[in-house]
Amino acid sequence: MTVEPAPVQIVRPRDAVLAPTGGLRVRRTLPDRHRSLIGAWCFLDHFGPEDPAEHGGMRVAPHPHTALQTVTWLFSGKVEHRDSLGTRMVVRPGQLNLMTAGRGINHSEYSTQDSPELHGVQLWTALPAADRLTAPRFDHYEPDPVEVDGHRLSVFLGRLAGASSPVGTFSPLVGAEIVLGEGELALDLDPDWEYGLLADSGAISVDGERIDVDELGYLAPGRARIVLRREEPGPRPTRIVLIGGAPFGEQIIMWWNFLGRTHAEIANYRANWQAAIGHSDGEGTNPRQYGPVTALTDRESPIPAPLLPPVHLRPRG
């Protein structure tokens, strides 16, 4: 007996500002109150296109992360990344910046003024509990796009349509940019995985179900093959960001820039960061958790953590 796959669940974006100092506005689809995770993917911001000179661009001073990986993937523009490992890297369109926070790291991100517009996505993946204290690291990779029936795919994590990325992850994942051409694009999927499709410009359909611009379509496990097509082309190429992975199977707490498992763990991460930047309002046990801070940039001070809420943070997922 053939079982029909579950309908596409539409996650609509909400507006957010990337940093407390203002600047770049983003459309956020993960996390959502109805959808915390897609595989290990736990965060998705979609931004631009915008002129950095006109709107200020991306200006995110040093800030910490724990127990996650950050993914930066641009369609246009350039962003300079600096981190406490000593990394200094400018990411350009078609290139992956992946930072593994592990037990703790801090970094800054600034868009450059020498490109006409800034446009792309930033995502996080949750590290499994067994790997959450791994050593931090940084990876940079530029995949070779592949053509499939007149459509262009750039696979920056995992495997899809015969293309694969060598960049390591801590759970089974896929991430790819798809630029649709004319006609349909059929893709084989892992039926045990769940997937998300972000429509960047122009409405698309998956198996005949519509996803509008800026929306994220969630596909529950059960689909071994999907058919994508353009429904209403926009002013730019009809681009999709595809993410997916095996269901994560763990609950997480994601608060501010930290990912943890318990309220106490998050509170300790916060106290350590406040102590590291000289804003201590608690007993941080390890202010060196995030590595050196002051040498990252002289343009803006590190970002202090907000106050914890007056109730205990509860895990989700």
**Cβ burial, residue 273 (10 Å; 0-12/13-18/19+):** buried
130: its two tokens: 């067994």
pLDDT of residue 114: 79
CA neighbours closer than 13 Å in the CB half-sphere of residue 302: 27
Residue carrying structure tokens 């406490």: 84
CATH topology of domain 9-245: Jelly Rolls (2.60.120)
CA neighbours closer than 13 Å in the CB half-sphere of residue 244: 28
159: its two tokens: 């495997």
Q: Which residues pair with 45 in a beta bridge?
A: 28, 122
Residue 204 · residue 228 · CB < 8 Å = yes
Q: Which residues pair with 220 in a beta bridge?
A: none
CA neighbours closer than 13 Å in the CB half-sphere of residue 248: 23
pLDDT of residue 236: 84
Residue 57 · residue 24 · CB < 8 Å = yes
Q: Where are the domains of the chain?
A: 9-245
133: its two tokens: 């204290």
Residue 17 · residue 23 · CB < 8 Å = yes
306: its two tokens: 């907000």
**CA-CA distance, 133 to 49, in Å (whole number)?**
36
CA neighbours closer than 13 Å in the CB half-sphere of residue 144: 4
pTM here is 0.95
CA-closest candidate to residue 196, choices 175, 224, 166, 171: 175
pLDDT of residue 284: 67
pLDDT of residue 232: 86
107 Cβ contact list (under 8 Å, min separation 6) = 62, 63, 65, 70, 81, 82, 83, 84, 87, 99, 296
Q: Give kind and range of the element (H or E) at residue 276.
A: helix 263-276
Tens of pLDDT along the chain (317 residues)? Answer: 567 889 999 999 999 987 766 568 899 999 999 999 999 999 999 999 987 766 678 889 999 999 999 999 999 999 999 999 999 999 999 999 999 999 999 999 998 877 679 999 999 999 999 999 999 999 999 999 999 999 999 999 999 999 999 999 999 999 999 999 999 999 999 999 999 999 999 999 999 999 999 999 999 999 999 999 999 877 888 999 999 999 999 999 999 999 999 999 999 999 999 999 988 766 667 889 999 986 555 667 899 999 999 999 999 98
CA-closest candidate to residue 214, choices 205, 202, 226: 202
* Eight-state DSSP code of residue 280: -
**CA-CA distance, 287 to 103, in Å (whole number)?**
12
